[in-house]
Structure 1
């Protein structure tokens, strides 16, 4: 198991760290849109809504699509990855109300990570505590999945607050 932290300096920039060392930064272009980019170890990735309604979100490295995700009818986010030409599927879902968290699970329902949001009332920014499983720690593209999970949590929060 590995522990990660996400801190937000404002509502547009989120930094993922492990043991106080920076892993990556997620930056939104505007808080009205789901477009963003993140950087991991000097590699840049773009997150862009696609389609007429923008309900499918793509993660690209240059022009290459690495993954897609969309929210399904029951509020889960379905993630399809295409790492190294291998297609895999994951589910990102919200769990609980009072002790809320988010979970990333594989196609068999095995939990790979748990993400706990923490609203900082004095700044009104979310921070997250992420705990990953031993299985997740072996993934070659785990940093990309961590940053995507962060974007999914923010996406979920914005979709739920927009619905209220």
Structure 2
């Protein structure tokens, strides 16, 4: 899988050339985004709460998931069906991200690549077992961008 920026506000996630979905940011410095899936489902992702530390994911106005950064520097994904995942920065310079389930088993790995000429990120996304929850993949890309923006002081 790959996630690539098509312009300053849009990130496309593809697998073998097939579109999985797009992240469409409201503007260049916004953390609010619409996730448009290939199956025509649309999710709204918006920071809420004090200092925008909680992020809500809604579909047609109904909460689907929440993302929240914890004190360990991880972003916790809590879905309404009770599933939970954690995005963790790994590597010597925190240059990779992994998503783990509650049992701390790795579900996805995201390797960001910075493009200096376009000044944006793309991601190589690896997994051992193909994730059934494509929204999780899209939220993983979003959370990685959020983590990078937060740590670089852009947020």
| TM-score, structure 2 as length reference | 0.93
Instruction: Check the 8 A contact 1:76/1:93 in 2, yes or no.
Output: yes
Alpha-carbon separation, structure 2, partners of 1:102 and 1:13: 20
Where do residues 1-164 of structure 1 align in structure 2 (5 Å cutoff)?
Answer: 4-40=1-37, 41-82=39-80, 86-98=81-93, 100-134=95-129, 137=130, 139=132, 142-162=133-153
Residue segments in structure 1 that go unaligned for 5+ positions in a row:
none
Query: Separation in 2 of the partners of 1:12 and 1:48?
Result: 15
Count residues with an aligned counterpart: 153
RMSD between aligned residues = 1.5
Alpha-carbon distance, 1:32 to partner: 2.3
Task: Work out whether residues 24 and 147 of structure 1, in 8 Å CA contact, stay in contact via their aligned partners in 2.
Answer: yes
Give the C-alpha shift of residue 138 in structure 1: 5.4
Query: When the two structures are superposed, what TM-score results if normalisation uses the length of structure 1?
Result: 0.88
- CA deviation map 1:11-43 (0-9, x unaligned): 321000010111111011023221100111211
CA distance in 1, matches of 2:96, 2:2: 14
Question: CA–CA distance in 2 between the matches of 1:145 and 1:6?
Answer: 13
- Measured in 2, the distance between the counterparts of 1:31 and 1:73 equals 27
Bigger mean CA offset, 151-160 vs 31-40: 31-40
